């Protein structure tokens, strides 16, 4: 669905990149980065697209860990950074460039100039889609990123908890203000299935994301269950879409990748 949003009306924003889509959340800790990574890998491997992943979560970059990428990007002859690649996805993250704590004290303008370098200062090559792991929240930084990158669309990740849903609504409003189309709402940590008896537990509530999608006239993209394997494979740097491609969770991610 995101295909073509960028092309004619807004022009190509970064040379060679057809569409830029944001994975966003109203608050931290809901699984935005996990979603961005698994979707990027699914778009590359299941949908056979040329995919890049930009970790714009400068205050808490997690792409290096989640994609098992360490070290610094090389610089090309025309002084552009060459993205680091794994699982068929070209990645760029502040985590490659500065020590862990360094960016934490940065102010807005420094963050924006770093992001500028991580987008236009990178030799992405031709990409069908650049997935952007946004910083959590709906403040100035998110608005500037949305405008500067001229996003083709944004996907909102939320858990079914009331507080998360409230913040997700705020995210939807923010993107509409800057005229970025919402690709849909994805519910993460939806349900926990007991590994012993199979009984589902709705730890963070049930059906909340579907409800806000309906209320706001948005597509509901699906549910990703709360599962130990999602967390453990992320921690090891092997997104579940590659470590357990036949699992129900991986199929759910691939289904979302196909929908957007
Ligand atoms: P955010 O980017 O929103 O801050 P993360 O993607 O970093 O969130 O996820 C927060 C934590 O929750 C991580 O430890 C991650 O592995 C874990 N997590 C995310 N989604 C799931 C899930 N569906 N099941 C289990 N753990 C998850």
Query: Tell me, what's the ipTM?
Result: 0.99
Q: Which atom of ligand 1 is nearest to the CA of 29?
A: 4
- 97 — pLDDT class (breaks 50, 70, 90): confident
Q: How confident is the model at residue 103 (pLDDT cuts 50, 70, 90)?
A: low
Second-level CATH architecture of 7-259? 3-Layer(aba) Sandwich (3.40)
Tens of pLDDT, residues 44-56: 999 999 999 999 9
Q: What is the 3-state secondary structure (H, E, C) of 60-99?
A: CCCHHHHCCCCCCCCECCCCCECCEEECCEEEEEHHHHCC
Pocket test for ligand 1, best of 22, 31, 32, 64 (most atoms within 8 A of CB): 31
Cα(first)–Cα(last) distance of the chain, in Å?
5
For the cut 60, the answer to whether the pLDDT of residue 3 exceeds it is no
Q: How many whole angstroms from 240 Cα to the centroid of ligand 1?
A: 12
Query: Quick check: 106 pLDDT over 80?
Result: no
This prediction has a pTM of 0.93
Q: How many A from CA of 164 to the centre of ligand 1?
A: 14
Mutate to test the pocket of ligand 1, among 231, 243, 253 (most ligand atoms within 8 A of CB): 231
Q: How many whole angstroms from 8 Cα to the centroid of ligand 1?
A: 36
> How many whole angstroms from 203 Cα to the centroid of ligand 1?
15
Classified as helix, coil or strand, 128 is strand
Q: Is 161 helix (H, G, I), strand (E, B) or coil?
A: coil
On whether the CB atoms of residues 202 and 238 are closer than 8 A, the answer is: no
Look at residue 207 in the predicted model and tell me its pLDDT. Answer: 86
Q: How far is the CA of 10 from the centre of ligand 1 (A)?
A: 33
Pocket of ligand 1 (CB under 6 A): 25, 28-34, 62, 136, 188-189, 224, 226-227, 230-231, 234
Q: Tell me which of 127-131, 180-184, 195-199 is least confident.
A: 195-199
> Pairing between strand 89-93 and 200-201?
unpaired
The structural domains of the chain, with segments of one domain joined by +, span 7-259
Could you identify the atom of ligand 1 that is nearest to the CA of residue 57?
A: 2
Which residue has its alpha carbon closest to ligand 1 atom 9?
31
Residue 150 is given by DSSP the state T
Question: What's the rounded mean pLDDT across residues 173-181?
Answer: 93
């Amino acid at each position: 669905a995101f295909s073509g949003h960028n092309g004619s009306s807004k022009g190509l924003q970064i040379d060679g990149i057809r569409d830029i889509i944001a994975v966003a959340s109203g608050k931290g800790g809901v699984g935005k980065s996990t979603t961005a990574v698994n979707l990027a890998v699914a778009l590359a491997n299941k949908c056979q697209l040329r995919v890049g992943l930009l970790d714009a979560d400068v205050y808490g970059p997690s792409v290096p860990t989640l994609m098992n990428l360490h070290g610094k990007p090389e610089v090309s002859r025309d002084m552009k950074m060459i993205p680091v690649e794994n699982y068929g996805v070209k990645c760029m993250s502040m985590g490659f460039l500065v020590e862990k704590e360094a960016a934490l004290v940065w102010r807005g303008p420094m963050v924006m100039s770093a992001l500028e370098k991580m987008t236009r200062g990178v030799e992405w090559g031709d990409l069908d889609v650049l997935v952007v792991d946004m910083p959590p929240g709906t403040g100035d930084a998110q608005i500037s990123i949305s405008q500067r990158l001229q996003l083709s669309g944004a996907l909102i990740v939320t858990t079914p908890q009331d507080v998360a849903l409230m913040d997700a609504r705020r995210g939807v409003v923010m993107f509409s203000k800057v005229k970025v189309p919402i690709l849909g709402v994805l519910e993460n940590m939806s349900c926990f299935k007991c590994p012993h008896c199979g009984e589902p537990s709705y730890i963070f509530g049930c059906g909340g994301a579907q409800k806000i999608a309906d209320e706001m006239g948005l597509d509901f993209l699906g549910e990703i269950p709360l599962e130990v394997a999602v967390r453990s494979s992320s921690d090891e740097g092997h997104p579940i879409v590659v470590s357990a491609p036949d699992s129900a969770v991986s199929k759910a991610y691939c289904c979302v990748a196909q929908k957007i």
